[in-house]
Amino acid sequence: MVFKHLEIASCSGVRAAIEHSTSSIRARRTIYGDVVAHWWHYDIIAAGKLPLMLCFLSFVVTFAVTRTITRLIRDGRGPFKNNITSSGAHIHHAVPGIILLVAGAFVAIGAADTLPWRCSAAITIGIGVSLVLDEFALILHLQDVYWSDEGQLSVEAVSLAGACLGLALVGFTPFGIDGLSNVEQVVRLSATGVLIVDGALAVICVLKGKYRTALFSVFILPVGLIGAARLARPNSLWARHRYHGEREQHAERRATTIDRRWKPVQVGWEDFLGGKPSQPDPTA
């Protein structure tokens, strides 16, 4: 009899624990859903950022799909392996990218100022920009350097553009939104100020030739502060106009030390995103 009571009490305790755990999970889901709904309403819909979000998503998805297809082409696999026209001309995907980019720009400025047209233009521009920037190195060098070390510059360009789009998307809009409390208004103003400082530090890092530091400084303020305060890269615009003599030599020595330490990490990341180079750099 005693064991039966203990068994009943044990089952009741287990049932109560399960019910408590279930209610906690439901509460967390409700809180998470409220946060997402609040973000979607105030920061996307009310702020007019739905086209920007669609542009960002189309940009990222297009880059991922494009790099997957080009890897398959390089390996001689997939439906696009014979990407040569009947005349023997290789059509680079920057060509349709430019066409889509121009078409999206015309739609953005020429179509009716309604949400469907704006979203259509944003998607078209996102796809076009991604295709063009994926061959940024080819456009810069006017040579097919896609699978060479110089071609990794395209991955850096895409990464930087994606970071800027993402920053603009998650950025807080302090004005023009109704229903915000004074505390939330102050928080949004403060966050906007931090983002402005991040952008200014990123520009300084770019002028100093520290493109990857600029990319991370967009999201991490201390990285931007360190990058803006330290010496510029020796071949950067900043160094060419401000460094001479001993300071220029010091910048070269420091750049060599940093490259020796961080170059393997950088190469590994770029190979992961864009594929490992399989061709030598073309001669000038």
pLDDT digits (tens, 9 = 90+) for 126-168: 999 999 999 988 888 888 888 887 778 888 888 888 887 887 7
Taken in order 129, 277, 271, 216, the sign of the CA dihedral is negative
Structure confidence at residue 12 (pLDDT)? 58
The angle at the Cα of 77, spanning 73 to 80, to the nearest 5 degrees, equals 55
- Give the residue with greater pLDDT, 80 vs 106: 106
Q: What torsion do the CA atoms of 238, 242, 245, 249 make, to the nearest 10 degrees?
A: -20
Instruction: Give the residues across from 90 on adjacent strands.
Output: 84
Note the pTM of the prediction, 2 decimals.
Answer: 0.65
- pLDDT score of 194 more than 60: yes
How many other CB atoms are found less than 10 A from the CB of residue 219?
15
Closest residue by Cα to residue 211 from 284, 269, 128: 269
Residue 193 has pLDDT above 60, yes or no: yes
Specify the pLDDT at position 17: 53
Axis-axis angle for helices 115-133, 94-110 (nearest 10): 160
User: Which distant-in-sequence residues (6+ apart) come within 8 Å of 191 by Cβ?
Assistant: 171, 172
Measured CA to CA, the distance from residue 81 to residue 97 in angstroms comes to 19
Per-residue confidence (pLDDT) for residue 6, from 0 to 100: 46
Closest to 51 in 3D by CA, of 94, 114, 97, 109: 114
**Spatial separation of the C-alpha atoms in residues 267 and 210, rounded to whole Å:** 15
**Residue 174 pLDDT > 60, yes or no?**
no
Please write the tens of the pLDDT for every residue from 88-120: 567 788 999 999 999 999 999 988 888 889 999
